[in-house]
Amino acid sequence: MNSTLQILYFLRPLRKTVIEFEGKSQLMNTIKRIFIDLLDTSSDASFSRSVNASDLLSAYGRFPDPRKQQDIHEFLLGFLDEL
């Protein structure tokens, strides 16, 4: 999930759209907060801060089964469907 968030964050048009989002979607607002936190972190020269993305799983509404490995493709498709 972390790698997916990083890839989505570095897609500048998507990042801009998410950060400018004004709405009631809990998932989008959670991603917006994470992207803003990442933006604040990336401007820090030390890069010593981390971003807490724990709220994302509850906003996403699907919890991965720790006994099964989920392909990143499956996760991304489900995640984008929720957006």
Higher pLDDT, 7 or 61: 7
* pLDDT attached to residue 66: 60
CA separation for the pair 41, 69 (Å, rounded): 30
Total-model pTM: 0.72
- CB-CB neighbours of 31 under 10 Å: 26
CA separation for the pair 48, 8 (Å, rounded): 21
Average pLDDT over every residue of 44-61: 65
The answer to whether 4 and 34 have CB atoms below 8 angstroms apart is no
